[in-house]
Chains A and B, each alone.
Chain A
Amino acid sequence: DIQMTQSPSSLSASVGDRVTITCRASQSISYYLNWYQQKPGKAPKFLIYAASSLQSGVPSRFSGSGSGTDFTLTISSLQPEDFATYYCQQSYSSPEYTFGQGTKLEIK
């Protein structure tokens, strides 16, 4: 099965910072990579599909890039509501789907 590894596992940043989270696949997954945001006690929220396409309604400060095995989620200017845990998810090995372990973004 395809393993997804995110780095860092946790990250401290300040409002206004630009942050990047990395997701690496254990084998090439082309662009079949999605990103989610989860706040404590809440369900995940869908942010980005196919590595770089922004879901409708998601602020443009969020962006995704990458293909093959290496992907990034970038938040261009952190807002207070962005502090959360972020997960990547591969869909290349459909119908077997796997998530990264998560990256917790905390306020510095």
Chain B
Amino acid sequence: QLQLQESGPGLVKPSETLSLTCTVSSGSISSKTHYWCWIRQPPGKGLEWIGSIYYSGNTYYNPSLKSRVTISVDTSKNQFSLKLSSVTAADRAVYYCARQRSYQSNAFDIWGQGTMVTVSS
């Protein structure tokens, strides 16, 4: 069963760049039928899609975050990454990586366990 695991610093200073990596195991990130995504959830709040990437490198971002977000993929390592620049306290959240189907209503079908990121000096 394919699994996703987020990794990266749990504490980021205001105005700096948040960087997270998602490692895909027991499956290939080079799937032609899936995208790879980042989704976040502030404490006690709902889910917000950040962006998606295809193995070829095509990216799609939430317009509200687009100016600060970069998602990249490294097929040799079976990983994809998130960079969010100029963070503020509003970016404090649990960050999930997820696999997204390119069929069947583009559902997010497999999720990582999530990693909490706090923004504080």
Contact = CB atoms under 8 A, between A and B. Distances in A.
Contacts of A95: 52, 60
- By secondary structure, the A interface counts as loop
Interface string B77-121: 000000000000000000010000100111111111110000000
Given A1-B63, A43-B111, A94 B106 contact: yes
Interface residues of B, number: 21
> Size band of the A side of the interface?
20 to 34
A83 interface: no
A91 interface: yes
B62 interface: yes
B16 interface: no
Contacts of A99: 46-49
A32 B109 contact: no
